[in-house]
Amino acid sequence: MNILFLLLDYSKNKNHMGLYKELVYEFRDQGHEVYVATATEKKWGLETTLNKEDGINVLRLKTGNMFEVGFIEKGITNLTLGSIFKKEISREFSNVKFDLVIHHTPPITFTPVIDYLKKKYKTKSYLILRDIFPQNAKDLGIIKNPILFEFFRQKERKLYGKSDYIGCMSEGNINFLRKHNPEVSEDKVHILRNWGKIKNKPIIDKKIIREKYGFKELDFITIFGGNMGKPQGLEFLMKLAKEYKYKENIKFLMVGKGNEKKRLEEIVEKQKLSNVIFLNFIPREDYEKLTAACDLGIVSLHSCFTIPNIPSKTIDYCKLGLPILACTDRNTDYPEILENEAKCGLSSIYGDLKTYKINFEELLNNKELRESLGENGREYYEEKLGVDIAYETIMNEIKKY
């Protein structure tokens, strides 16, 4: 089959895979002819290019800026994506009859190119539903104008209408989608879990790695890795860290960046939380080794969300056999997955510091429990979260019709 992926990001670095690149490679390895159309922000000063990269036809399209820019500029760029992708794909891939186009949210504005492919080639369209926009932006207070919200809702509905298949992260996602979009047929929606390439756990010398980053062998290290933005609500994690500011061997390690990082650093400085340590971006291989040398992984979802979110960082923690401490909003079914399906962590409601601390204490003081949860997570990763399983899920749905 000729498969076209529409992606916002597709790294040129062979060592930087990421969720969607792993899926692209899996389709390639399964014998398909794979094409990728991806955005290149104009701030990098690069023009549109088409090249073969690791056996994959990659079209890098010059677009407006989307990341680390204001909401208005980001919004304008997103609104133009569909027309830009349609123009360049129709020109560069004019002789390719695509059997399947795979796209994701965000954005919700690929509809013009999807409509073009469906009309010209009867191409089937598969939507990987991750962020539910614009509701997530409304929850976060980014979109406050009801007219603007309804404008994007119309685009969201059109996208669902043009999608032949919709892969959702959980039953909660499916229920939310169908409740708020009853016109979406039950037949087209199904579960597509987050995925990762199945790899062996890295063999590490925990003592050496800890020393490299300034930690002691007997420190209890809780790690958060990833985006530090408003959706994560990490100021609540700082409240937990404050409870242990005088416990010298209990550390909270924050790895990554995001628009809330500076504010978090200010909180740490103001409250003199010497047990909270920030690290900027580190290479993927180093990050995995560092995470494997920690004792506990953090998942945090702000209480403002009305949509069910399933954090993809769970994959890393499960892959590395790290137990998870989570705090989430009341609307996600992530705690059900964490505690009862994967059985790899403990969860509480965001804002409930008492229960958050009780769960932390239980994991802090019970090494046997940590090891058991970590082993469960690794087993869940191998059985449910492989990219090969994601591939099979997509192909099985397509073969039904």
Q: Is 132 helix (H, G, I), strand (E, B) or coil?
A: coil
Q: Say whether both 123 and 31 belong to one domain.
A: yes
pLDDT average, residue stretch 340-348: 98
Name the residue with tokens 């560092």: 290
- pLDDT band for position 401 (cuts 50, 70, 90): low
At 57 the pLDDT is 96
Task: Look at residue 75 and tell me whether its pLDDT is greater than 90.
Answer: no
At 73 the pLDDT is 85
Q: Is 277 helix (H, G, I), strand (E, B) or coil?
A: strand
Per-residue b or e along 144-165, where b marks 16 or more CB atoms closer than 10 Å to that residue's CB: eeeeeeeebbebbbbbbebbbb
346 phi, psi to nearest 5 deg: -120, 145
Q: Say whether both 288 and 391 belong to one domain.
A: no
CA 287 to centroid of chain Cα atoms: 17
pLDDT digits (tens, 9 = 90+) for 102-147: 999 989 999 999 999 999 999 999 999 998 999 999 998 989 999 9
Q: Say whether both 7 and 70 belong to one domain.
A: yes
pLDDT digits (tens, 9 = 90+) for 236-283: 999 999 999 999 999 999 999 888 999 999 999 999 999 999 998 888
CATH code of 218's domain? 3.40.50.2000
Q: Say whether both 224 and 192 belong to one domain.
A: no
Q: Say whether both 241 and 140 belong to one domain.
A: no
Domain count, the chain: 2
Q: Say whether both 23 and 163 belong to one domain.
A: yes
Between 10-24, 187-201, 313-327, the lowest mean confidence (pLDDT) is in 10-24
Find the domain containing 35 and state its range.
2-197+386-400
pLDDT digits (tens, 9 = 90+) for 190-242: 999 999 999 888 899 999 999 999 999 999 999 999 999 899 999 999 999 99
